[in-house]
């Protein structure tokens, strides 16, 4: 690969824009509040789990849930159990405890947040705010609510932090309690959350520099194609067709014409054909060369985005081990946004990494 090329290594649809950010949808900062977006559980040592697990065992993306002792947690695919859609989260303590958690939520300056969630069940449900800014997590607020047999909305205001940082929202049951939870909301005044992941194909607008839906063969006058590269069948992409790349396959085009290193957004759908912990570096969109850029999953399962100069990193935002439990064959959405004030990386709508005041390049290649 020669310097000055934009190399897209992906199985989905790619959009590169000169504008920062994407269209605002609602003020809820949680991208999967009703747990409809799910992914396979990791394989279990004794068998089961993985991509072939029954859909009722799949896990809600962007959330973590776990149980202590005899406790149980699940996101069953059962419309009769859910308040909306097909799924909700079911936590059963069974004399121990079960937990549902979203981490981490960025707070710009110690804002007053509003938290709302719907729940039903028996016993009590707890809602905790945990300061995750420093190495040791510290609980800063806890509420306890009585559960009933009918769906009910629980709402409260909370100031989880006194200054800028990150915090964790945790809902949990203990003792003999049991809860069904759905439609969780968290926000603060003035927040305009991004509408991610999009529910329809990406489109081009006046700010779009490069748009690759992969519905038609690539123009050989504009793209360099090497190795195992092919379009998929009509229903094998995320929306319609997609691009399938083998181990040595890549597609390249001009970086200078299709990417602004000072300000922009890269957005794409992709699907790995091996587990996220396969110890293989997998670039999604990359500009090779001494003045480079990369959006990737690395050999340590980190998800990262940033720029390098003289082959050395100058500005990077990454989430350590974020892809470690990913299973193959799952379409995921990723977006990276940057300007002189802020660099951000989103996966499936969740803000997983950011860097304030990044150092940016003037040229690439």
Token duo for residue 98: 């079960």
- Residue range 269-289, pLDDT digits in tens: 999 999 999 999 999 999 999
CATH class of 5-23+195-356: mainly beta
Give the per-residue pLDDT at 13. 64
Q: Which residues contact 79 (CB under 8 A, 6 or more apart)?
A: 85, 86
Tell me the C-alpha distance between 304 and 346, whole Å. Answer: 10
Backbone torsions φ then ψ of 161, nearest 5 degrees? -130, 155
Lowest mean pLDDT among 13-22, 128-137, 228-237: 13-22
Is the pLDDT reported for residue 14 higher than 80? Answer: no
Mean pLDDT of 336-361: 96
Domain boundaries for CATH 2.60.120.260 within the chain: 38-188
Q: Which CATH class is domain 38-188?
A: mainly beta
Parallel/antiparallel/unpaired status of strands 229-231 and 38-39 = unpaired
Which 3 state secondary structure label does DSSP give 229? strand
At residue 19, the pLDDT reads 56
Q: Considering the entire predicted model, what is its pTM?
A: 0.90
């Amino acid at each position: 690969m020669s310097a000055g090329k934009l190399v897209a290594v992906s199985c989905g649809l790619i959009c590169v824009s000169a504008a920062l950010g994407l269209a605002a949808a609602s003020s809820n900062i949680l991208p999967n509040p009703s747990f409809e977006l799910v992914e396979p559980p990791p394989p279990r040592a004794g068998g089961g789990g993985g991509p072939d697990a029954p859909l009722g065992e799949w896990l809600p993306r962007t959330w973590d849930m776990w149980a202590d002792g005899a406790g149980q947690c699940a996101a069953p695919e059962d419309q009769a159990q859910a308040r909306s859609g097909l799924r909700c989260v079911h936590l059963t303590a069974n004399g121990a405890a079960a937990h549902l958690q979203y981490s981490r939520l960025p707070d710009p300056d110690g804002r007053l947040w509003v938290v709302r969630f719907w729940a039903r069940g028996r016993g009590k449900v707890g809602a905790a705010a945990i300061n995750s800014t420093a190495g040791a997590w510290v609980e800063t607020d806890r509420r306890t609510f009585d559960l009933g047999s009918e769906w009910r909305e629980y709402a409260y205001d909370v100031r989880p932090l006194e200054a800028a940082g990150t915090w964790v929202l945790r809902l949990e049951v203990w003792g003999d309690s049991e809860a069904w939870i759905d439609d969780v909301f968290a926000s603060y005044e003035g927040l305009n959350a991004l509408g991610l992941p999009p529910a329809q194909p990406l489109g081009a607008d006046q700010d779009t520099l490069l748009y690759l839906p992969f519905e038609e063969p690539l123009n050989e006058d504009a793209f360099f194609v090497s190795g195992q590269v092919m379009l998929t069948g009509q229903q094998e992409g995320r929306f319609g067709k997609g691009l399938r790349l083998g181990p040595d396959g890549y597609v390249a085009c001009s970086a200078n014409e299709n990417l602004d290193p000072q300000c922009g957004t890269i957005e794409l759908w992709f699907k790995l054909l091996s587990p996220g912990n396969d110890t293989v570096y997998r670039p999604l969109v990359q500009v090779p060369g001494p003045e480079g850029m990369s959006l990737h999953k690395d050999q340590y399962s980190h998800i990262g985005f940033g720029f390098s100069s003289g082959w050395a990193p100058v500005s990077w935002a990454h989430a350590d081990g974020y892809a470690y439990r990913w299973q193959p064959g799952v379409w995921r959405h990723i977006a990276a946004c940057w300007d002189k004030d802020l660099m951000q990386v989103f996966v499936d709508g969740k803000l997983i990494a950011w860097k304030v005041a990044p150092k940016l390049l003037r040229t690439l290649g």
